[in-house]
Amino acid sequence: MLSRDTRVNALIGTGHFLSHFYVLCLPPMFTYWQRAFEVSYAQLGLTVALMSGITALLQTPVGFLVDRHGARRFLVGGTLLMTLSIAAMGLAQSFWQILLLAALSGIGNSVIHPADYAILSGSVDRGHMGRSFAIHTFNGNLGFALGPPVIIALSDALGWRTALAVVGGVGLPLVATILLQSRILADQQAQPAPARGAGPALSGRQLLLTRTMLLFFAFFMLGSMAGAGVQAWVITVLHQVNGMDLAIASTALTGYMAGATGGTLVGGYAADRMRSHLTFAATLTTLSAMLVLVIAAFRLPDMVVLGLLFLSGLALGASRTPRDMMVKDAAPPGQIGKVFGFVSSGLPLGAAVTPVPFGFLIDQGRPELVLVVVAALLLLSLLCAGSARGSAEAAPVPAAAE
């Protein structure tokens, strides 16, 4: 018989896997949709922009709803909307229908982070919380990794319409399982009543605008900006600066992503055994930044570059669970949904703002600066993390009024 923690991690992790999987199912559809609907690449890009942008904008409002009304109903509703929207894309007869369904899928996807963290915080044994957060992150990264090859293989074998119907339909058994197993999905600890004589509680908006929460938001956003810079441009940089073959440069990126994905599990187990999450996260993030700087500063053999990028990704991935644990510890009881909804919206925002300015550096003939900026962003994120943790310890964030 599987333990309760294992079943909770499986349910929540599978939903997180699908949310990331669906995001990267869309770009491989561009070639098929261009032929089917005769649209431009700019119009095709709007599908991803709508899905990701709506998710980022709605995560915080959904977090307020999760804290007030409980996470389970939103998790079921959001997952169902997300999966049905992807499946319905296979029936679309006009491109405006694809755009509408991408927007609806983004609405469903916006539920995942605030609901998942609220349920994990209330359902999992505190001594295993780091591992649960790590498994959650690992499953999301795995969804990103498997989305493109799976949807392409299915589209080649079955056609793009059937492929989308199949991957969308996969979410329906998950929704049914969540409903059947809902008794094991406990919500986060309720907000305690204010002590007699205590000052007025902060509103939810005031809570998110405290110095601690704004710094955590910046920590997430800057880390995402650095990661997006590597993902979008490291192949080009290694090719232009190091003279690396494109195939080998692509392998280097794959190694970096594999290290980052595996590192989340390492960080999760470590987070359950340490007292100072900040020290662990800071050490690993600094190591990741230094390895990137070494690659930027020296002309190294290809195999050395591959090894250093893998280690950089591993270190950065391992720092992510301690980062999440710091946010959880700083969130007042009963406020985890809105706090994680807010700070994690820095992830898609950071990923959205990075590619263009980094591309500008390359256009100006300075590709060697891309990795330097990546390292600088990682180090700057640590200043935000340290300040946020120091602020939380000096003056704990008071509970928010509903």
Q: What is the share, in percent, of the chain residues with pLDDT greater than 70?
A: 92
Mean pLDDT across 228-249: 85
Please give the backbone phi and psi of residue 367, each rounded to the nearest 5 degrees, phi first.
Answer: -65, -25
Say whether pLDDT at 194 is over 90: no
CATH 1.20.1250.20 domain extents, the chain: 4-184, 202-393
pLDDT digits (tens, 9 = 90+) for 285-300: 999 999 999 999 888 9
Q: Is the pLDDT of residue 195 over 60?
A: no
Query: What backbone phi and psi angles, to 5 degrees, belong to 333?
Result: -55, 135
- For 288-316, give one letter per residue: b (16+ CB within 10 A) or e: bbebbbbbbeeeeebeebbbbbbbbbbbb
Could you tell me which of 42, 165, 166 has the C-alpha nearest to residue 95?
A: 42
Of the pLDDT bands very low, low, confident and very high (cuts 50, 70, 90), residue 398 is low
Could you report how far apart the first and last alpha carbons of the chain are, in Å? Answer: 39
The confidence score (pLDDT) of residue 217 equals 92
Angle of CA points 318, 361, 294, to nearest 5°: 40
Mean per-residue pLDDT, 383-400: 66
pLDDT in tens, 76-126: 999 999 999 999 999 999 999 999 999 999 999 999 989 998 888 888 888
**Token duo for residue 51:** 């899905």
- ∠ Cα 77 82 84 (to 5°): 95
Identify whether the C-beta of residue 122 lies closer than 8 Å to the C-beta of residue 331. Answer: no
Are 339 and 191 within 8 A, CB to CB? no
Whether the pLDDT of residue 394 is over 60: the answer is no
- pLDDT of amino acid 320: 87
Mean pLDDT of 23-29: 85
**pLDDT tens-digit series, residues 325-355:** 888 888 887 888 888 889 988 887 887 777 7
The pair of three-digit structure tokens given for residue 369, joined into one six-digit string: 């600066």
Does the domain spanning 4-184 belong to CATH 3.30.70.141?
A: no
Contact 375, 289 (CB under 8 A): yes
Asked whether the beta carbons of 382 and 215 are under 8 A apart, the reply is no
Q: pLDDT-derived band of residue 380, with 50, 70 and 90 as boundaries?
A: very high
Looking up tokens 């720092």 gives 319
| Contact (CB, 8 A) for 308 and 288 | no
The two tokens of residue 277 are 């999450």
Highest mean pLDDT range out of 38-42, 330-334, 366-370? 366-370
The CATH H-level (homologous superfamily) assignment of domain 202-393 is MFS general substrate transporter like domains (1.20.1250.20)
Question: What does DSSP assign to residue 401?
Answer: E
283 CB-contact burial (10 Å; exposed 0-12 / middle 13-18 / buried 19+): middle
Q: Write the DSSP string, 190-257.
A: PPPPPPTTPPPPEEHHHHHTSHHHHHHHHHHHHHHHHHHHHHHHHHHHHHHHS---HHHHHHHHHHHH
Q: Which residues neighbour 100 within 8 Å (Cβ) at sequence distance 6 or greater?
A: none
Strands (E) in 29-85, as ranges, are: none
pLDDT reported for residue 99: 94
Q: Could you tell me the sign of the dihedral formed by the alpha carbons of 126, 131, 134, 140, in that order?
A: negative
pLDDT per residue as tens digits for the range 161-185: 999 999 999 889 988 888 888 777 7
Q: Considering just the CA atoms, what is the radius of gyration of the chain in Å?
A: 21
Angle at alpha carbon of residue 116, lines to 268 and 8, rounded to 5°: 70
pLDDT digits (tens, 9 = 90+) for 42-86: 788 888 888 888 888 899 999 999 888 888 889 999 999 999 999
- Beta-carbon neighbour count of residue 76 at 10 Å? 20
Q: Over 80: is that where the pLDDT of 190 sits?
A: no
Backbone dihedral angles phi then psi of residue 202, each to the nearest 5 degrees:
-70, 145
Above 60 in pLDDT, residue 323? yes
**Span 259-288, pLDDT tens digits:** 988 899 888 888 878 777 888 889 999 999
The two counts, helices (H) then strands (E), for the chain are: 18, 2
pLDDT at position 161 is 96
- Mean pLDDT computed over every residue of the chain: 85
Distance (Å, whole) CA 63 – CA 215? 18
Q: For the chain, give the number of residues.
A: 402
